[in-house]
Amino acid sequence: MALHLIWTIPVAALLSIPPLVLIQLGWCGVSGCSGGGFGLTSGIEWGVVLLGAGAIALAWLLAVLLPPWLRPGGVRAGIAVAVALVAALALTAVATDGFTHAERPAAASPGVRTPT
């Protein structure tokens, strides 16, 4: 019965990609965490991160919990919760660049020369 994990784990990984992109866009904006281009978004970062992390956790929880690969259901549920939490935390940390924002460069005043 553990053979079900051969297809459920890749499905969970594929289902984790859209929330991962959502987290990346919500946290770092269109141009990434460098702050260049369109810059960083503000206001909704944590909501998007929590929504995406919840979706990732749900995908991994169901992928490990639903197939009957281990007979004691309580043990399987405990392992599923642990795998879901680790996957959600790890993938969210990767998508948010370790929960850091790049500092925006200070704009130079007109007529002030910056050293090169």
pLDDT value of position 28: 77
Per-residue pLDDT of the chain (116 residues; tens, 9 = 90+): 678 889 999 999 999 999 999 998 888 777 666 656 555 555 677 888 999 999 999 999 999 999 999 889 999 999 999 999 999 999 999 888 877 765 544 444 455 555 55
pLDDT value of position 95: 87
Dihedral angle over CA of 26, 30, 36, 42, nearest 10: -30
pLDDT value of position 9: 93
pLDDT value of position 38: 58
pLDDT value of position 57: 97
pLDDT value of position 60: 97
* Residue 16: Cβ within 10 Å count: 22
SS3 state of residue 56: helix
pLDDT value of position 34: 65
pTM higher than 0.85 for the full model? no
